[in-house]
Amino acid sequence: MSERIHWTKIYETVNNEQAEVIRAYLESNGLEVFLKGEMADELFPGLEFTPVEIMVPEEQKEQAEKLIQRYLEADTDREEN
């Protein structure tokens, strides 16, 4: 019997495109990622700013948080230039 994955939230955004980019970035670094709420805007059109929670297995939380910080810092640098 396989062990059940315990997911933990590491980031939340209302920008679906940002959530997808972050998911791809984390996955490219070998992490498992689940986006909670990513389909809400399709299921409930007209509900704006529905948050998407970026979830990873608990044992990957620390690594994921470091990668998120690196991503956000790089994103800020791109916006400033």
Q: Identify which of 67, 64, 9 has the alpha carbon closest to the alpha carbon of residue 36.
A: 9
Mean pLDDT of 7-14: 95
Domain edges within the chain = 7-80
Confidence (pLDDT) at 66: 97
Q: Does domain 7-80 have CATH number 3.20.20?
A: no
pLDDT tens-digit profile of 17-72?
899 999 999 999 999 999 998 765 555 555 566 789 999 999 999 999 999 999 99
Give yes or no for residue 15 having a pLDDT over 90: no
Confidence (pLDDT) at 1: 54
Residues 71 and 60: their CA atoms lie apart, in Å, by 16
